[in-house]
């Protein structure tokens, strides 16, 4: 028989004592001077005590569970390294997805750590302040465990060694970097809306769940483990995101138009940035779990649909251009992979053309678009490769001023025509990939006019020199090692040697 469950002080009392019970109203300094940042965005809060963390997690419980997660994680990581876990992955092409993750995502975890630490000091309400403090520690843990885990791959594969340096300089990494810089330079409520709500609640499932499940399917024990360990914090971050939105909307009706504008902006920015994940799922996993389109249907159309239906009682509507983003889910992965294939000489991971089997999978998953628009291009490139004329695009692309992605995306409703938008600001013309990105600029032109655009910077002579070799040096990218096709790379040679050795042993 199970013994009856013991009763202690209940969770709600414990939470009240350990958060609000430890807070105080300042007396010899004005509260507005102590918390100077939480009013200038125009969000009106009348009663901070209405905030409650749904998990009601207190710091003591937080340390206990986080400690347990770390013990488990490090046991697996140690075992992975000791047992040469890199030999067990499905194919060495898979490692390129991890390169993209370490250079593109891990530095964002560190940025999130820093900014949540800022909010953990500067938010007036004790509830969200404590939640931000916990999240700050979570994000630091994520950055550390990811770097620690992936350091094992760095011993055997190229493209990892200079990840923080690359994050700050490389053209496609400016897409996630600028996304986060934009959030961190916004006020606290916009940051919460951007990162906790739009990213963590609405879109993060599209990044982590398929990524970690993909790692599990491709034999990457180490990434699965750090991924799920990080993701276990993510559910708490999601509740922070949804609570902050409801809290703002419940506190004052004047908050609605401000919040709606942020939701529109950050949904669109997130959608564009996640195009990198779309490409990873559809093209970079040797064994695939689901297509980007399927993931979008589950996590945005279905889960996001239920969420926005619920939030409609506050007057909040589905993000602007959500219908366009859904249409783009049929195209974005193919268009992105084509961009990287053309610019493989300047990428910090390897590229390849999909095999016949992989193209058959893409046809099946994208019956409306793949055979019609994308297969012919890949087949043409394959023929060119066979003739020894592998196609490289040697012209630097125009970038979107807002999302910083090369202008390779097509018009809504016409996948044969590249989309272009532009606007004028203080006598200069600025270019965009879409109406969504143009709207964002027009709402904050003084911010986005300052964007650090990698192509412009190369042309202005700020990136090491005028030719590819100079720029690669400035990126700390080893030409012929970190970049170019998988076929013929040192990564491939080593992997093939391992496989040959395994066959020899098997007899």
Partner 1 sequence: MAGIVSITLQNNDEARPVIESILQDNPSANANYMPGAVKIDCPERLVVKAESVSERIGRDWDPQEIHLTIVSMGGSLDEDDDELVLSWGA
Where in 236-265 is the site for partner 1 (CB under 8 A)?
A: 236, 238-239, 242, 246
Nearer to partner 1, 310 or 496 (CB): 310
**Total chain residues near partner 1 (CB under 8 A):** 49
* Strand pairing category for 428-432 and 421-425: antiparallel
Among the residue ranges 9-17, 125-133, 450-458, 476-484, the one whose residues contact partner 1 (CB under 8 A) = 9-17
Query: Taking the complex as a whole, how short is the minimal distance between the CB of residue 49 and partner 1, in angstroms?
Result: 18
Query: Taking the complex as a whole, how short is the minimal distance between the CB of residue 290 and partner 1, in angstroms?
Result: 8
Site for partner 1 contains 55 (CB under 8 A): yes
Nearer to partner 1, 1 or 506 (CB): 1
Helices 221-251 and 255-273 cross at an angle (nearest 10°) of: 160
Where in 306-325 is the site for partner 1 (CB under 8 A)?
A: 306-307, 309-310, 313
Say how far apart CA 328 and CA 370 lie, in whole Å. Answer: 13
* Strand pairing category for 410-411 and 414-418: antiparallel
Site for partner 1 contains 6 (CB under 8 A): yes
Nearer to partner 1, 173 or 222 (CB): 222
What DSSP letter does each residue of 277-327 carry, written as one string? HHHIIIII-SS-S--HHHHHIIIIIIHHHHHHHHHGGGT--SPTTHHHHHH
Binding mask 25-54 for partner 1 (x = CB under 8 A): -----------------------------x
Nearer to partner 1, 230 or 433 (CB): 230
Say how far apart CA 219 and CA 215 lie, in whole Å. Answer: 6
What is the Cα 379 distance to its own chain's centre?
30
Say how far apart CA 480 and CA 489 lie, in whole Å. Answer: 7
- Whether 212 and 224 have beta carbons less than 8 Å apart is answered as yes
Binder among 38, 45, 48, 69 for partner 1 (CB under 8 A): 69
Nearer to partner 1, 32 or 68 (CB): 68
- Whether 406 and 437 have beta carbons less than 8 Å apart is answered as no
**H/E element, 428:** strand 428-432
Query: Taking the complex as a whole, how short is the minimal distance between the CB of residue 220 and partner 1, in angstroms?
Result: 10
Binding mask 280-299 for partner 1 (x = CB under 8 A): ---------xx-------x-
Nearer to partner 1, 75 or 235 (CB): 235
Query: Taking the complex as a whole, how short is the minimal distance between the CB of residue 213 and partner 1, in angstroms?
Result: 5
Say how far apart CA 73 and CA 255 lie, in whole Å. Answer: 41
Site for partner 1 contains 303 (CB under 8 A): yes
Among the residue ranges 8-16, 191-199, 343-351, 483-491, the one whose residues contact partner 1 (CB under 8 A) = 8-16
Tokens (6 digits) for 1 = 């028989």
174, with CB counted inside 10 A (0-12, 13-18, 19+), is buried
Say how far apart CA 57 and CA 130 lie, in whole Å. Answer: 9
Q: Give every CB contact of residue 36 below 8 A, 6+ residues apart in sequence.
A: 122
Nearer to partner 1, 170 or 209 (CB): 209
Query: Taking the complex as a whole, how short is the minimal distance between the CB of residue 223 and partner 1, in angstroms?
Result: 10
Tokens (6 digits) for 430 = 């600025």
Q: Give every CB contact of residue 151 below 8 A, 6+ residues apart in sequence.
A: 160
Where in 182-241 is the site for partner 1 (CB under 8 A)?
A: 204-205, 208-209, 212-217, 224, 228, 231-232, 234-236, 238-239
Site for partner 1 contains 61 (CB under 8 A): yes
Among the residue ranges 63-71, 91-99, 118-126, 470-478, the one whose residues contact partner 1 (CB under 8 A) = 63-71
Query: Taking the complex as a whole, how short is the minimal distance between the CB of residue 486 and partner 1, in angstroms?
Result: 23
Binder among 32, 47, 68, 254 for partner 1 (CB under 8 A): 68
Nearer to partner 1, 232 or 345 (CB): 232
CB burial readout 326-364, b (16+ within 10 A) else e: bebbbbbbbbbbbbbbbbbbbbbbbbbbbeeebbebbee
Binding residues for partner 1 (CB under 8 A): 2-3, 5-8, 10-12, 54-57, 61, 65, 68-69, 204-205, 208-209, 212-217, 224, 228, 231-232, 234-236, 238-239, 242, 246, 289-290, 298, 302-303, 305-307, 309-310, 313
């Amino acid at each position: 028989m199970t013994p009856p469950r013991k009763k202690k002080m209940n969770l709600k009392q414990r939470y009240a004592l350990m958060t609000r019970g430890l807070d105080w109203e300042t007396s010899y300094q004005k509260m507005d001077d102590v918390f100077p940042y939480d009013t200038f965005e125009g969000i009106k809060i009348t009663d901070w005590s209405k905030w409650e963390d749904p998990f009601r997690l207190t710091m003591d419980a937080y340390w206990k569970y986080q400690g347990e997660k770390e013990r488990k994680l490090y046991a697996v990581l140690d075992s992975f390294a000791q047992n040469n876990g890199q030999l067990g992955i499905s194919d060495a092409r898979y490692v390129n997805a991890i390169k993209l993750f370490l250079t593109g995502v891990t530095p964002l975890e560190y940025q999130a750590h820093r900014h949540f630490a800022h909010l953990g000091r500067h938010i007036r309400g004790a509830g969200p302040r404590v939640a931000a403090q916990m999240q700050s520690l979570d994000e630091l843990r994520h950055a550390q465990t990811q770097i620690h885990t992936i350091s094992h791959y760095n011993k055997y594969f190229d493209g990892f060694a200079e990840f923080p340096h690359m994050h700050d300089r490389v053209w496609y990494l400016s897409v996630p970097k600028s996304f986060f810089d934009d959030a961190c330079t916004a006020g606290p409520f916009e940051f919460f809306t951007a990162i906790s709500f739009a990213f963590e609640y609405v879109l993060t499932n599209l990044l982590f769940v398929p990524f970690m499940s993909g790692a599990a399917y491709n034999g990457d024990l180490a990434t699965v483990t750090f991924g799920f360990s990080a993701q276990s914090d993510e559910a708490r971050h999601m509740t922070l995101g949804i609570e902050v939105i409801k809290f703002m909307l419940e506190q004052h009706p004047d908050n609605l138009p401000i919040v709606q504008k942020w939701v529109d902006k950050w949904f669109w920015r997130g959608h564009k940035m996640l195009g990198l994940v779309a490409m990873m799922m559809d093209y970079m996993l040797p064994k695939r779990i689901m297509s980007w389109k399927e993931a979008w249907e589950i996590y945005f159309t279905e889960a996001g649909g239920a969420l926005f239906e619920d939030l409609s009682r506050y007057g909040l509507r589905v993000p602007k251009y959500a219908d366009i983003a859904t249409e783009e889910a049929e195209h974005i992965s193919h268009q992105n992979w084509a961009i990287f294939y053309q610019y493989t000489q300047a990428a910090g991971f390897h590229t390849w053309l999909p095999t016949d089997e992989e193209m058959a999978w893409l046809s099946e998953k994208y019956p409306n678009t793949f055979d019609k628009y994308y297969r012919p291009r890949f087949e043409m490139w394959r023929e060119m490769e066979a003739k020894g004329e592998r196609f490289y695009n040697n012209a630097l692309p125009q970038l979107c001023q807002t999302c910083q992605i090369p202008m390779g995306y097509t018009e809504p409703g016409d996948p044969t025509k590249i989309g272009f938008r532009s606007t004028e600001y203080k006598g200069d013309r600025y270019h965009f990939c879409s109406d969504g990105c143009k709207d964002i600029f027009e709402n904050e032109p003084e911010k986005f006019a300052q964007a650090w655009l990698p192509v412009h910077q190369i042309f202005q002579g700020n990136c090491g020199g005028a030719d590819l070799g100079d720029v690669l040096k400035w990126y700390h990218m080893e030409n012929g090692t970190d970049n170019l096709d998988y076929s013929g790379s040192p990564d491939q040679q080593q992997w093939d040697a391992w496989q040959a050795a395994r066959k020899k042993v098997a007899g």
